Structure 1
Amino acid sequence: MPLPSAPPALHYSVSPYARIPLPPQNNIIGPFSLHPLLRVVDSFPSSLDPTVHSSSVDIDLSSSPDAIRTALIIATAEMFAPATQPPLPSMAITHPLLPWYIIVHRSVSDHVTVLDVLDTICRELSTTVGDEYRSDRRRRFELLQGRYRFRGLREAQRGEDVWELITSR
């Protein structure tokens, strides 16, 4: 009886583990623009200095979500403004160091607010990493490898209502 031969070599033009762009979560047609409090400010596009890539909101993502929420509400009334124009009912946020999306849903209005985005990011990152990724039950923000400062969001190339979270040390 002949032995089975080895399977043929697989050839990929891109990684077989590449992320597939998400379909839109709603039927609102873009282009979309972020609220200025959430937008990454990039005055020197070629610079690698993380201090030039920051929104006007300064948040340490390793802090308590409740403390962050209270500080944000006190800071500005703009927290209740729509996170995007046109307003969206939900948003997906990704980060290159996180193996999952952060999904932001509207809370009290018919659209996602600036506060919804920041609060969801902080709450999601403060939860423990599931057993499928780690057995030591670290909090998710620790996967950011010390890059805990919120610098803003920018459009991701993964779908129409997907945004990339930018962080720094």
Structure 2
Amino acid sequence: MKKTALIVLDGWGRADNPEVSAIDKARTPFVDSLYKKYPQTWIKTSGLDVGLPDGQMGNSEVGHMNLGAGRVVYQDLVKINLAAENGDFAKDPTLQEALAHAKSTGANIHIAGLLSDGGVHAHINHAKALCSWLYAEAFENVFVHAFTDGRDTDPQGGADYLQDLIDHMDATTGR
């Protein structure tokens, strides 16, 4: 029986341009000998290839999940993006139940969440889609509680995200 090993070198990437690649510029005799002696392959680790939005940088968790599953595992961000784009967002039973309760009781609606375009933990487009949907459903007492953390975006970018959401709501409501 032939033995096989799956060896994952986290952070060991391949660049299209060897002039800008630390891996290509480094002296790596052991790894070079493995390349000559054994078959290997490179896998794509970002964007739609690993279930992230197109162009989104991957990370080790996403890579390991896809390797372990043996298939593309669509990440929550992609699932939410698709639901917001195709209208399934508005069909979510939990959201429908909450809105029905708010409508029947006249309750205020509070949206709380991370506001950024980093895409790792949240995306501003989800807040925009939710605000647009609430406006289309004729809700008027909607309060947004935005958290800005700068972890996967500019640490000083919070004010810009807030202004972007305000501009979206102004354009949506005409107010």
Q: What TM-score do the two structures reach when normalised by structure 1?
A: 0.28
Q: What TM-score do the two structures reach when normalised by structure 2?
A: 0.27
Pick the structure with more helix per residue. Answer: 2
Pick the structure with more strand per residue. Answer: 1
Q: Which protein is bigger by CA-based radius of gyration?
A: 2
Higher relative contact order (CA 8 A, sep 6+): 1
